[in-house]
């Protein structure tokens, strides 16, 4: 039997200091809830889905409730979940009206012959699955609405704009690995814009033979280096989880000057995280059951 492991993130970027506590509190709750599931014998796949659902329900983060608005004043959500045991995956792209996109992504994996559904097709699938639809008004917050109005009016927006993408990676008691990532994308994006989060290997990746990773940050740069696959491949080449996270971020900086971060777990439960932006909100539980949380680390 393996020792379960869980690490979650709530986004990278220039997270204002007065928001640090909220970012860490949500990550801690997600990690603690997922840990209890893993201790009870739940699969890594289930644990990462529930962890990300908790973050999607928290308006602190840019996914589900609290997601940013695009140039049309709409919320389009992306999510990806991956099972390291089988390499199976499910993703949704640019879907509207869904509070928990990560659950819809898992249903794409389990209840369709496909791997990715996008836009109206993903929305129609959600309705068919009995998932209740929610309005943009319900998902937006006063903060995201104010940010949208600033962008729309051409008013300069503070550089303190974190990438609130959320994600989780885990190993369960059977040694299986999973990863999940969910996002609302970037503020005032063009309708239909897709970043790294729902792209396998970029926003997340999981393989029982190596490890799992979930990314956050500037999606246009993350996808160019296939950040999460770079990290898990580094584990396969002999690096531990922390070294692999550092390596992947270093490659992104050197090759495309990218800003972002990622969390990593290897197949034996070692964990790590790294970032090139100022902060990344993370929480994890060590093998002794102790909760840890951080707003980043010095590289």
Catalytic residues: 165
**Are 279 and 293 within 8 A, CB to CB?**
no
| φ/ψ of residue 216, rounded to 5 | -155, 150
Rounded Cα distance between 198 and 215, Å, is 10
Among 186, 155, 144, residue whose Cα is nearest residue 12: 186
Q: Tell me 261's DSSP state.
A: E
Among 201, 263, 266, 241, residue whose Cα is nearest residue 12: 263
- The side-by-side arrangement of strands in the sheet containing 116-118 is 116-118, 88-95, 77-83, 177-183, 166-171, 5-13, 279-285, 291-294
């Amino acid at each position: 039997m393996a020792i379960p492991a869980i690490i979650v993130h709530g986004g990278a970027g220039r997270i204002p200091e007065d928001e640090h506590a909220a970012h860490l509190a949500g990550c801690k709750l997600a990690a603690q809830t997922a840990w209890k599931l893993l201790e009870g014998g739940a699969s890594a796949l289930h644990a990462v889905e529930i962890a990300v659902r908790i973050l999607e329900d928290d308006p602190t983060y840019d996914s589900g409730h609290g997601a940013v608005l695009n140039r049309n004043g709409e919320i389009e959500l992306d999510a990806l979940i991956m099972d390291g045991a089988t390499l199976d995956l499910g993703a949704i792209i640019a879907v509207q009206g869904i509070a928990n996109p990560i659950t819809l992504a898992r249903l794409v994996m389990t209840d369709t012959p496909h791997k990715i559904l996008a836009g109206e097709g993903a929305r129609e699938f959600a309705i068919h699955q009995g998932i209740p639809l929610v309005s943009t008004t319900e998902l937006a917050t006063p903060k995201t609405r104010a940010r949208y109005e600033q962008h729309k009016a051409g008013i300069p927006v503070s550089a303190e704009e974190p990438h609130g993408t959320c994600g989780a990676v885990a190993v369960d008691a059977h040694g299986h690995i999973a990863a999940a990532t969910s996002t609302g994308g970037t503020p005032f994006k063009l309708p239909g814009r897709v970043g790294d989060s729902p792209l396998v290997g970029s926003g997340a990746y999981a393989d029982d033979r190596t490890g799992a990773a979930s990314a956050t940050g500037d999606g246009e740069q993350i996808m160019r280096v296939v950040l999460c696959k770079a990290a898990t491949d580094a584990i396969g080449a002999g690096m531990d989880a922390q070294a692999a996270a550092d390596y992947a971020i270093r490659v992104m900086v050197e090759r495309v000057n990218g800003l972002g971060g990622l969390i990593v777990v290897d197949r034996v439960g070692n964990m790590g995280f790294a970032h090139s932006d100022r902060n990344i909100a993370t929480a994890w539980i060590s093998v002794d059951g102790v909760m840890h949380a951080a707003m980043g680390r010095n590289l």
